[in-house]
Structure 1
């Protein structure tokens, strides 16, 4: 279970209000920062200028909030001390930034933890993501509930205060190359592709939002070449798993909830499966049958 938020309400309010304020500025900065920089992030990926700009902007803004002691980013090698507070913020400044080139959706993911990093789901206080789509929205999970807000004007305008996954799943999306899938995951996709509609755009927040909207499953699985997949536990796995579980769905690394995965290192990767309970149960059963 995620951590008790009662002692951190002021910090959480300030963090998500600040993220809403930053969202229009980040979006407005994208057209002029579509080119690659000369830098490589800790995961070995070439950074776009937009990645660096968003990271610096968010670090400065969130690091200035009273109560925030640490800022951590997928774009930086180690957590940064920004204050004396007890809250740590972990951020993927631009999830799916490669989508800038084709002008496709992307977003920002944020996770707020109690104490130092790395941290597991039991120390998560809240999480959320901004989606840079046709509408600029922010989805937040806090105290076991999920809300969606329009943040196009920099303020939180709640448009749904009880976000839940639809009962009947209709879509699926999955990452990784087909030849690199494990036999179990390949079998699962073959079984569901005749029943559901494929929705995959290359930005986790956009693909997960399809699942939140229509029901279904999103996966970035364990691969033959990478047994822990691609996505990072601190920045993507835990925060998005909490959103999905708080919205009535389930998460899995293939055998257990992502919120139960033990953090061993800062940039740890984890297989990610998110969606309706029955879809996750079906996935785990299929993977187990092919072990």
Structure 2
């Protein structure tokens, strides 16, 4: 039973207050970046509602009225609209690069300082399992007052100013970094707020799980097939949802390695460098992990096209180092 002392305990630190605290650490901050983070959080709340309502009967007092909520099939488009509108109504963002559209979308705010990449809803919407939003933020390099250009998004991971994701579910979490560690916030639906739940996430240097689509294992390069066999011999656990955000989130918290190798059908890899690989690489490095293409650090990659693809090996530092050494070993031996 609660007593008076229990009622005096603080509810927790909201995302809003956390953003304001971080802004206060930079006296020259104008507040634009903080407002951008708030806009992303607002859109995440709206999408969380849509995800939780999708598939429910569309009850209405009027026969054949328009659906009250998005159908599972329409969720990706709905999620994109929620984020695009939230970012467009502010004055901070000049353009959005959307995985759903596959192209650069101007917000009309030519004086906006930032460019945002977005995969508004990743995962299996039919099953509504492991759905997530992935985003990253660049400071634009094109001239203020002019339309955004692809160059604003082709700066490479070292130029990112923030990256994060939202994982929707029974306990919806927002995880992000601005280059000073990784923090997680859990959504409290009764209060309608994200509360700080993990102020400093650090991925374990070692792990005992691997995550990949083993249905394609025979199409992976031989070093990857050999590594997966070795993982089984070492009794490592196989954990794979099929949602990039969900699989990465589990790996970030518990340790392990996530693999998205090239295949015969996709020799360059399947994940977008700009919209997927670089945001996750920026996050995991801030959590003391590693991300690699198999031949170089992902943060060192300077993309040349908005739709550029890449393999992705990401997770615990020691596991990624071991895996990439096995990938590079055949070429090293050939040169010798």
TM-score, normalised to structure 1, is 0.87
Q: How does 1:1-291 map to 2 (within 5 A)?
A: 10-30=31-51, 31-32=53-54, 48-82=73-107, 83-84=109-110, 85-96=112-123, 99-115=124-140, 116-153=152-189, 154-175=192-213, 177-195=216-234, 196-291=236-331
Check whether the contact 2:39–2:87 (CA below 8 A) recurs between aligned residues. yes
**In the TM superposition, what is the alpha-carbon distance from 1:9 to its structure 2 partner?**
6.8
Check whether the contact 1:118–1:265 (CA below 8 A) recurs between aligned residues. yes
Cα RMSD (Å) of the superposition? 2.1
Check whether the contact 2:120–2:133 (CA below 8 A) recurs between aligned residues. yes
Q: For 2:211, what is the secondary structure of its paired residue?
A: strand
Q: What is the aligned residue count?
A: 273
Gaps of 5+ in 2: 1-22, 57-71, 141-151, 332-336
Check whether the contact 2:206–2:318 (CA below 8 A) recurs between aligned residues. no
Check whether the contact 1:171–1:217 (CA below 8 A) recurs between aligned residues. yes
Check whether the contact 1:171–1:199 (CA below 8 A) recurs between aligned residues. yes
Check whether the contact 2:36–2:87 (CA below 8 A) recurs between aligned residues. yes
Determine the C-alpha separation between the residues in 2 that align with 1:219 and 1:64. 37
- Cα gap change, 1:8 to 1:264, in 2 (>3 Å): farther
Q: For 2:175, what is the secondary structure of its paired residue?
A: strand
**In the TM superposition, what is the alpha-carbon distance from 1:238 to its structure 2 partner?**
0.4
Check whether the contact 2:172–2:187 (CA below 8 A) recurs between aligned residues. yes
**In the TM superposition, what is the alpha-carbon distance from 1:63 to its structure 2 partner?**
1.9
Equivalent residue for 2:11? none
**In the TM superposition, what is the alpha-carbon distance from 1:168 to its structure 2 partner?**
3.4
Determine the C-alpha separation between the residues in 2 that align with 1:214 and 1:122. 25
Determine the C-alpha separation between the residues in 2 that align with 1:223 and 1:114. 34
**In the TM superposition, what is the alpha-carbon distance from 1:147 to its structure 2 partner?**
0.1
Deviations 1:200-244 (A, max 9, x none): 000011101111111110111122221221111111100011111
Determine the C-alpha separation between the residues in 1 that align with 2:264 and 2:289. 27
Determine the C-alpha separation between the residues in 1 that align with 2:276 and 2:240. 17
Q: For 1:75, what is the secondary structure of its paired residue?
A: coil
Q: Which moved more, 1:115-124 or 1:257-266?
A: 115-124
Determine the C-alpha separation between the residues in 1 that align with 2:55 and 2:272. 24
**In the TM superposition, what is the alpha-carbon distance from 1:33 to its structure 2 partner?**
6.6
Gaps of 5+ in 1: 35-46
**In the TM superposition, what is the alpha-carbon distance from 1:256 to its structure 2 partner?**
1.2
User: Which has the higher Rg, Structure 1 or Structure 2?
Assistant: 2
TM-score, normalised to structure 2, is 0.76
Determine the C-alpha separation between the residues in 2 that align with 1:53 and 1:8. 33
**In the TM superposition, what is the alpha-carbon distance from 1:59 to its structure 2 partner?**
0.4
Check whether the contact 2:154–2:302 (CA below 8 A) recurs between aligned residues. no
Q: Which moved more, 1:170-179 or 1:279-288?
A: 170-179
Higher RCO, 1 or 2 (CA under 8 Å, sep at least 6)?
Answer: 1
**In the TM superposition, what is the alpha-carbon distance from 1:141 to its structure 2 partner?**
1.3
- Cα gap change, 1:278 to 1:74, in 2 (>3 Å): same
